[in-house]
Amino acid sequence: MKHLLSVTDAKQDIFELLKLAAYFKEYPVVKKPLKNKTLAMIFEKASTRTRISFEVAMYHLGGSPLYLSASDMQLGRGEIIEDTAKVMSRYVDGVMIRAKEHQEVQKFAENSDVPVINGLTNKEHPCQAITDIFTIYEHKKSYNLKMAYLGDGNNVCNSLLLACALIGMDMTVVCPSGYEPDLEIFEEAQMFAEETGSNIQITSNVLEGIKDADVIYTDVWVSMGDEDEKLQRMIDLNDYQVNMELLSHTKPDTIVMHCLPAIRGQEITDEVMKSSQSVIWDQAENRMHVQAAILSTLLKNDE
């Protein structure tokens, strides 16, 4: 794996990454594998978890993170991403980018001599999805499971489709018409699913979609960049809320996940977040361990 722009980039490495993340979670890092390494982190959108977990993971591994707000860089004044990538490759050992447009991250990677990690774009959130698989295994000790994803078929949903298909987990996206995940990604996931035997589906029927689910997953109805559509989204997605009534149709050991931030009263209720079925806080913590695995794999010392 040279870059991590999409979950597909981790196709060959995913089980190694999951194993390494479990190791980092269990044992403190003593050998500091990223000593003298610098990770630049460019943010074009807001972040709490991604920024903090990457920064802390870099410190744990012995390296230094560098936080950069895109609007404070010359990027915000019209310098092109290709030039930025060429220059930054001369200074740092890796770059994490959270960008509005997925193509911008691809352009950055094409012009970068150092590894590039997608920290969320309009199309994918690979670090989140790999972490989610890690969290599911931590709680269920199996990949032979079914996830039901409810709500907006957004960036997180796209990456989860690829991740589930790669590891052989079934996934049903439960969403109203017009909110389906990216068609190209869905087809790519189906190709992986044929190899791994997982079952990937989309339905607008909530009860049918959540039937036998081991994992109920949801994300915000209004992603960053979709704010203009807020009112329409509230109407269209209203029947897809993860609430206690919905949970009453699941198994007692079905777990509930949310990548956060959560908007209580929209895609999920406060009661569900606090319920014994919620693994949301473990999920947030695990971002740090999985990213430590990703960073140490991509930025490792050549010595």
Respond yes or no: is residue 125 known to be catalytic.
yes
CB 264 → ligand CP: shortest distance, Å?
16
Asked if 266 interacts with ligand NVA (CB under 6 A), we say no
Residue 98 catalytic? Answer: yes
The footprint of ligand NVA on residues 185-224 (CB under 6 A) is 219-220, 223-224
**Binds 48: which of ligand NVA, ligand CP, none (CB < 5-8 Å by kind):** ligand CP
As a three-state string, the secondary structure of the chain is: CCCECCHHHHCCCHHHHHHHHHHHHHCCCCCCCCCCCEEEEEECCCCCHHHHHHHHHHHHCCCEEEEEEHHHCHHHHCCCHHHHHHHHHCCCCEEEEECCCHHHHHHHHHCCCCCEEECCCCCCCHHHHHHHHHHHHHHHCCCCCEEEEECCCCHHHHHHHHHHHHHCCEEEEECCCCCCCCHHHHHHHHHHHHHHCCCEEEECCHHHHHCCCCEEEECCCCCCCCHHHHHHHHHHCHHHCECHHHHCCCCCCCEEEECCCCCECCCECHHHHHCCCECHHHHHHHHHHHHHHHHHHHCCCCC
Closest separation between CB of residue 211 and ligand NVA, Å? 25
Query: Taking CB under 6 A as the rule, which mask of x and - marks residues 142-171 in contact with ligand NVA?
Result: ------------xxx---------------
Residue 287 annotated as catalytic? yes
**Would you call 77 a catalytic residue per the annotation?**
no
Report what 219 binds from ligand CP, ligand NVA, none; CB cut-off 5-8 Å by kind: ligand NVA
Catalytic pick among 9, 49, 102, 128 = 128
Paired with 217 in beta bridges are 149, 257
Q: Is 102 a known active-site residue? A: no
Which x/- pattern, by CB under 6 A, does the window 8-47 give for ligand CP? Answer: ---------------------------------------x
Site track for ligand CP across 105-134, x = CB under 6 A: ---------------x-------x------
* Min dist. Cβ of residue 226 to ligand NVA (A): 8
Catalytic site positions = 98, 125, 128, 219, 259, 287
Site for ligand NVA, rule CB under 6 A: 120, 154-156, 219-220, 223-224, 259
